[in-house]
Amino acid sequence: MTNLAHHINSSLSKELHAMIYLLGFFAQKKSFKVYAVGGFVRDLLLGKENRDLDLVVEGSAVDFAKYVAKNLPGQLQCFERFGTAKLSLSKGIVFDMVTARQEFYAGPGALPDVERSSLKNDLYRRDFTINTMACALNPENFGRLYDFFGGRKDLEKGIIRVLYKLSFVDDPLRIIRAIRFEQRFNFIIEEETLTMLRKAIGNRVLEKVSKERLYNEIRLIFTEPSPLKVLIRLNEMQLLKVIFPRLEFNERLKERLRRLEKGITELVESDPEGKWNYFILYLSALFYDLSEHDTAYLCHLMRLRRKERLRLFAVLKKTPKAIPELKKEFIRPARLYFLLNEIPLEGLLLMTVLEKNDPYLREHISYYRRELVHRRLLTNGDDLLEKGLTQGPVFNRVLKSLHEAVLNGKVSGKEEELEYLSYLIKKNNMYQETGEGEK
C-alpha cells in the first residue's frame, strides 16, 4: 500500500500543507471521508504543487464545504443540485468538491476494495489514467494512495491513456486535454488511445460541443508553458482549422509565436510581477495578419467577452500604426507618451518581441514604462478652476499642454507647474483676443 504523506510533507508549500491536514481533520470530525484526486495527486507524484484541489467527498460535498467554510475564511459557492461546491481561499488555493456517486455498474465481485466503490466509481468517469489517482486525507489513513486504474505506472512511463473506449465520444474536450497533457509533460498518447482520438476527430465530435465549453478549454492552452507546442500538435491533428477557421498557420505565424514565447520567458524573468494577459497576448500574435472582419468573426466564435475584444482590437489596430514611429531614433517624450498610452500592455510586449532587432523601438518602450508613466501631472482640474478657467475645450487644451511640458521635462514640481499654467492661460487669452483661440 503506497502512502503519499511523505510527498505531501516534502513537495508542498507550508500553507497548502496546513490546509490539507485541516481538511482531513474537519472530515474526521464530521464523519465524512475526503480524498484529493486528479491533477493534484498526479502533480504531487511529479513533485509539483497544484493549488487547484479536486476533492471527492463520501457523504455530502456541499455539507462538508459549508463546514469547512465556517472554519476557513474564503469564498464559497454551492451547487446543491449537482452535489458540488467550490471554496476559494487566499493565495490561489481552491477546493473543488464533488460528492462521490454511490451507484456502480460492475458487479461487487469486480471490486478490489468494495468499501471504496463510490470513490472508484467517481474516478472511472475521468479522462486519463494519470488523473484517476486518489489520496486519502482523513487522519486514520492520511496519504494512502488509491490507484485503481494503473495511473502511477502510466505516470512513470509517461503515457496518456483513456479508461474506456467511448471516452472521447462522451467528452470530446478530452481530445484537446490529451494533446495539452502530452505536450506539457512530454508524454506519449498510448497507441489505442491515439487510434480512438483520431477516430473521434474523424467523426467530428468536437463540433457537437457548445462553443462556450470548447473555447473555455481552448483558453487553457494559453496557460501552458508552451502554447506553441500545443498549437503545432493541434495543427498536425487537423484541429487548428476547426478551432480557428480562417487562420493560416504558416511559417510566418509560427516564427512570430516562437519569438513571443522566447520574449515572454525573458520578460517573466525581468518582471515576474507583470500583469499582462497571456490569452490576449497570444491572440494578438495569432490574429496579427488577419483582416478586421476575420478577427471579428473569430472573436464572436470564441465568445470573447466585450472587455477582452476591445483590448485585443486596441492591440491589433494600434500597434502596426505605432511601430514606424517607434523605429525612429528621436521622439519627444510627450509624443511617445501619448502614442503608447493608448496601447494595452500586451501591445507593448508584442511590439518589443516582433521588432526585437530594432535598435530604437525597445529602448523607447522601455523608457516609457520605466520613466514616462511615472511622470504625473501634479496640477489638477481644481487648480485650473481656481485660476479662473471653466470646463471646455480651452480647459482641456491647457491641461494637455501642461502635461506635455511635464513629460518633456520642461517643468517639474507643483510650483513650476502652477507658474507654467499661468503662462499658458495668459498665452491662451492673447490668442483669444487676437482671434486665434479655438479652431
Residue of 51, 141, 169, 171 interacting with ligand CTP (CB under 6 A): 171
Q: How many CB atoms lie within 10 A of CB 235?
A: 16
Task: Give min distance, CB of 277 to ligand CTP, in A.
Answer: 18
Task: Give min distance, CB of 50 to ligand CTP, in A.
Answer: 6
- State yes or no: residue 131 binds ligand CTP (CB under 6 A): yes
- State yes or no: residue 163 binds ligand CTP (CB under 6 A): no
In angstroms, rounded to a whole number, what is the distance separating the alpha carbons of residues 157 and 151? 10
- State yes or no: residue 152 binds ligand CTP (CB under 6 A): no
- Site map for ligand CTP, 257-296, x if CB under 6 A? ----------------------------------------
Rounded to the nearest 5°, which phi and psi values hold at 179? -70, -40
Distant-in-sequence, close-in-space partners of 151: CB < 8 Å, separation ≥ 6:
41, 42, 129, 130, 131, 132, 133
Segment contacting ligand CTP by CB under 6 A, of 123-131, 144-152, 309-317, 406-414: 123-131
Residue of 21, 25, 39, 242 interacting with ligand CTP (CB under 6 A): 39
Q: Which among 438, 368, 428 is positioned nearest to 401, based on CA atoms?
A: 428
The 33-37 sheet, strands edge to edge: 75-79, 84-88, 94-99, 52-58, 33-37, 134-136, 145-146
Q: Which helix (H) or strand (E) holds 75?
A: strand 75-79
In angstroms, rounded to a whole number, what is the distance separating the alpha carbons of residues 61 and 83? 6
- State yes or no: residue 173 binds ligand CTP (CB under 6 A): yes
| CA distances, 233 to each of 177, 344, 366 (Å) | 12, 30, 35
Segment contacting ligand CTP by CB under 6 A, of 28-36, 100-108, 166-174, 263-271: 166-174
Cβ distance to ligand CTP smaller for residue 178 or 399: 178
Segment contacting ligand CTP by CB under 6 A, of 108-116, 169-177, 261-269, 334-342: 169-177
Task: Give min distance, CB of 353 to ligand CTP, in A.
Answer: 26
- State yes or no: residue 347 binds ligand CTP (CB under 6 A): no
Distant-in-sequence, close-in-space partners of 163: CB < 8 Å, separation ≥ 6:
124, 126, 127, 128, 129, 132, 149
In angstroms, rounded to a whole number, what is the distance separating the alpha carbons of residues 311 and 385? 34
98 in helix, strand or coil? strand
Residue of 127, 154, 182, 190 interacting with ligand CTP (CB under 6 A): 127
Rounded to the nearest 5°, which phi and psi values hold at 358? -75, 135
Cβ distance to ligand CTP smaller for residue 54 or 417: 54
Segment contacting ligand CTP by CB under 6 A, of 46-54, 320-328, 335-343, 379-387: 46-54
Q: Which amino acid is at 423?
A: Y
- State yes or no: residue 126 binds ligand CTP (CB under 6 A): yes
Cβ distance to ligand CTP smaller for residue 57 or 298: 57
Residue of 116, 174, 311, 364 interacting with ligand CTP (CB under 6 A): 174
- Site map for ligand CTP, 47-86, x if CB under 6 A? ---x-x-x--------------------------------
| Cβ-contact 44, 11 below 8 angstroms | yes
Q: Which helix (H) or strand (E) holds 174?
A: helix 173-185
Cβ distance to ligand CTP smaller for residue 171 or 358: 171
In angstroms, rounded to a whole number, what is the distance separating the alpha carbons of residues 227 and 282? 9
Site residue total, ligand CTP (CB under 6 A): 12
| Cβ-contact 221, 227 below 8 angstroms | yes
| Cβ-contact 24, 4 below 8 angstroms | no
- State yes or no: residue 121 binds ligand CTP (CB under 6 A): no
Residue of 16, 33, 38, 163 interacting with ligand CTP (CB under 6 A): 38
Contact positions vs ligand CTP (CB under 6 A): 38-39, 50, 52, 54, 126-127, 131, 171, 173-174, 177
